[in-house]
């Protein structure tokens, strides 16, 4: 199908973008890589009055290491994350996760910021951000604010972003060890279930995607001292909703399979 009619603007500065977003309110949508927004327009699942294309904004496309980890601009694409030596060195969890996102032609356009701001429950980066305890940098007319990933994802496609705000970057602290595993029917398809795992000193964090409305931190499994204990505890952490093909029980079973793989890797 074809997208409905909309207006399009490509602001050159954040200030211009905030003005457009403020002026058009709910009728405006932010366009970054467009790999989720444009299909939803083509299928007429959404019909904005105005697309505010933020890809012309300066300063949102960098990957830089700093004292507290790695800062990645919102407009950095999945392909750039996949290929970046800095990401491999300072945030290997993201380098492991990126190849699972869709397919090469989509990874060339889709962005980190877009994925985080959309907050698809089956997406890879939100789970990685929670597992790494990332800080999301949000800009608005009144200035910049920072939100921990754990508090950013509030519900199904629902985040802490307020009207006329733009997610500009994410900061990922280092982890001693990291592992990303995912199960999908076909490479690049939406995950049936996935797991981002990190270890800092002796503290493990297991965060599941595709297991609920938001990334789910498996608190009990993360605290377990043995794999058997963790597998058992996962039943208290997860109550995954069934999808078209997999019952809740199947998903919990698959989550335990991934937990075992991750545990043995960390």
Q: Which is nearer to other proteins, 35 or 222 (CB)?
A: 35
Q: How far is the CB of 100 from other proteins (least distance, A)?
A: 10
**By CB under 8 A, residue 199 contacts other proteins:** no
CB within 8 A of 98, min separation 6: which ones?
A: 78, 79, 81, 82, 107, 124
**By CB under 8 A, residue 218 contacts other proteins:** no
Distance CA 130, CA 207 (A): 7
**By CB under 8 A, residue 50 contacts other proteins:** yes
- Pick the piece of the chain touching other proteins (CB under 8 A) from 106-114, 213-221, 243-251, 253-261: 106-114
**By CB under 8 A, residue 104 contacts other proteins:** yes
Residue 253: both structure tokens together: 């079973």
**By CB under 8 A, residue 11 contacts other proteins:** no
Residues paired with 9 in a beta bridge: 52
**By CB under 8 A, residue 55 contacts other proteins:** yes
Q: How far is the CB of 96 from other proteins (least distance, A)?
A: 14
- Pick the piece of the chain touching other proteins (CB under 8 A) from 95-103, 153-161, 162-170, 233-241: 95-103
Distance CA 145, CA 138 (A): 5
Q: Where does residue 128 rank: exposed (0-12), middle (13-18), buried (19+ CB within 10 A)?
A: buried
CB within 8 A of 104, min separation 6: which ones?
A: 79
Q: Rule CB under 8 A: which residues touch other proteins?
A: 1-9, 24, 31, 34-35, 38-39, 41-43, 49-51, 53, 55, 79, 99, 102-106, 108-109, 186-188
């Amino acid at each position: 199908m074809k997208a409905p009619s909309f207006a399009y603007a490509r602001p050159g500065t954040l200030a211009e973008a905030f003005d457009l977003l403020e002026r058009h309110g709910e009728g405006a949508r932010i366009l970054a890589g467009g790999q989720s927004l444009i299909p939803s327009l083509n299928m007429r699942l959404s019909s904005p009055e105005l697309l505010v294309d933020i890809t012309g904004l300066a300063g949102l496309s960098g990957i830089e290491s700093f004292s507290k980890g790695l800062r990645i601009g919102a407009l950095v694409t999945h392909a750039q994350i996949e290929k970046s030596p800095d990401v491999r060195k300072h945030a290997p969890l993201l380098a492991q996760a990126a190849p699972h996102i869709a397919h090469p032609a989509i990874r060339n356009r889709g962005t980190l910021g877009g994925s985080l701001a959309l907050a698809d429950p089956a997406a890879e980066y939100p789970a990685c951000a929670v597992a790494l305890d990332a800080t999301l940098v949000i800009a608005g007319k009144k200035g910049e604010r920072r939100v921990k990933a754990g508090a950013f994802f509030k519900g199904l496609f629902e985040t802490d972003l307020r009207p006329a705000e733009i997610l500009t970057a994410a900061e990922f602290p280092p982890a001693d060890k990291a592992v990303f595993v995912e199960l999908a029917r076909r490479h690049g398809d939406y995950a049936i279930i996935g797991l981002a795992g990190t270890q800092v000193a002796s503290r493990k964090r297991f965060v599941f995607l595709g297991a609920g409305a938001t990334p789910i931190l498996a608190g009990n499994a993360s605290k377990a001292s043995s794999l058997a204990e963790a597998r058992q505890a996962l039943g208290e952490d997860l109550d995954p909703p069934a999808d078209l093909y997999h019952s809740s029980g199947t998903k919990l079973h698959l989550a335990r399979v991934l937990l075992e793989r991750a545990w043995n890797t960390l």
